[in-house]
């Protein structure tokens, strides 16, 4: 009984942290926008071209 209650509480806490981090990442992505994504894609593609 107590272990089940603790397990459900830890699951709820984990989901809360996960949702918080997801919203934070979404906010960060919205603030930085496609510029950071294009920069990361350019760096990844250049490293891939250097690798081959």
Residue spans of the domains in the chain: they are: 2-51
User: Cα dist. 22→2, 25, 31, 34 in Å?
Assistant: 30, 5, 14, 17
User: Cα dist. 17→11, 35, 45 in Å?
Assistant: 10, 27, 33
Sorting pLDDT into bands at 50, 70 and 90, what band is 43? confident
Q: Which residue has the higher pLDDT, 3 or 52?
A: 3
2-32 vs 34-51: helix crossing angle, rounded to 10:
90
Q: What are the tens digits of pLDDT across the range 5-39?
A: 778 888 887 788 777 777 777 777 777 766 777 78
């Amino acid at each position: 009984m107590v272990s089940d209650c603790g397990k459900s509480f830890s699951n709820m806490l984990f989901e809360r942290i996960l949702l918080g981090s997801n919203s934070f990442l979404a906010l960060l992505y919205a603030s930085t926008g496609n510029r950071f994504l294009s920069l990361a894609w350019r760096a990844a593609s250049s490293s891939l071209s250097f690798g081959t």
